[in-house]
Amino acid sequence: MFSLITGASRGIGESFARVLASEGHSLILVARDLIALNALKESLMAEWGVMIKIISIDLRDPNAARMIFERTQQEGWDVDFLINNAGFGRFGEFESHPVDDYLEMIQVNVTAPMALSHYFLGPMKARGQGAIIHVASMAAFQPTPYMTVYGATKAFLRAFSEGLTGENQASGIQVVAVCPGLTDTHFFVAAGAEVEMTLHGAPGMLTPDVVVKGSLEAVRRGTMTVVPGIKNRLMAMLSSAIPHRIGVPLAARILGRQFHRFKE
């Protein structure tokens, strides 16, 4: 059996790979960067002696999820642990980025994890075991001005995960949405250089290992949604409790100040 990780070449995905390899899991690592995937494969095999397969593919391709599944079927790689980690965001006013950026974001953050879950859930249920982790975000708890599409994609992942949990209570399949706050990853480079310079290494930022530890503990406990970090959990609870008519203008003021600083 294999654990399949998307966005495995760096950040949270790489941390998942290292932790699971240390626990003896055979892995399928999925990302665009073939050089980084090969380097990670060699590192994990040398340190832990586990079986590592790699699939270099761009999840922005609408056919990517189907191609990944077909490859696993052709090779006889049975997947019992799917980690939908790949994703990216953009910071700024909605109209400040090309619409194609948002279409690609929806493809990577929403369509690909939904399709991969659909492909792999059936075989998991047939075997009577398996788990799926969707890496969402604290942005899933309230609308997120200046990261509007990103926040909406993460809200989808949270709702999608919780819906699957309800459907699979008796199937033996665990489905978890992990909703990290600020985490020290490559995300900020992709979101925008100004965001990266401002937020990278900020106080209270989580490490990928903390996110992974919380995610795997949630699978073992059967927790539906997990927010790593005590402060983040409190903020998520507060965000959920505040009516949107209050929370949205507040978020717009806070994030808007950051956005207008970048424009100056």
Catalytic residues: 150
6, 85 contact by CB (below 8 A)? yes
Rounded Cα distance, 146 and 227, in Å = 22
Sheet with 2-6, side-by-side order of all strands: 52-56, 26-31, 2-6, 79-84, 130-135, 173-178, 225-226
Structure tokens at 50: 């586990």
Cβ–Cβ contacts within 10 Å for residue 164, how many? 22
The helix (H) or strand (E) run that includes residue 130 is strand 130-135
Residue 160 has phi, psi (to 5 degrees) of -60, -45
Q: Quick one: CA dihedral 180, 186, 191, 194, positive or negative? A: positive
Rounded Cα distance, 141 and 29, in Å = 29
9, 42 contact by CB (below 8 A)? no
Residues 6+ apart with CB under 8 A from 184: 200, 201, 205, 206, 207, 208
Range list of H helices, the chain: 11-22, 34-48, 64-75, 99-106, 112-127, 148-167, 187-191, 193-199, 208-221, 230-241, 244-263
Rounded Cα distance, 161 and 200, in Å = 28
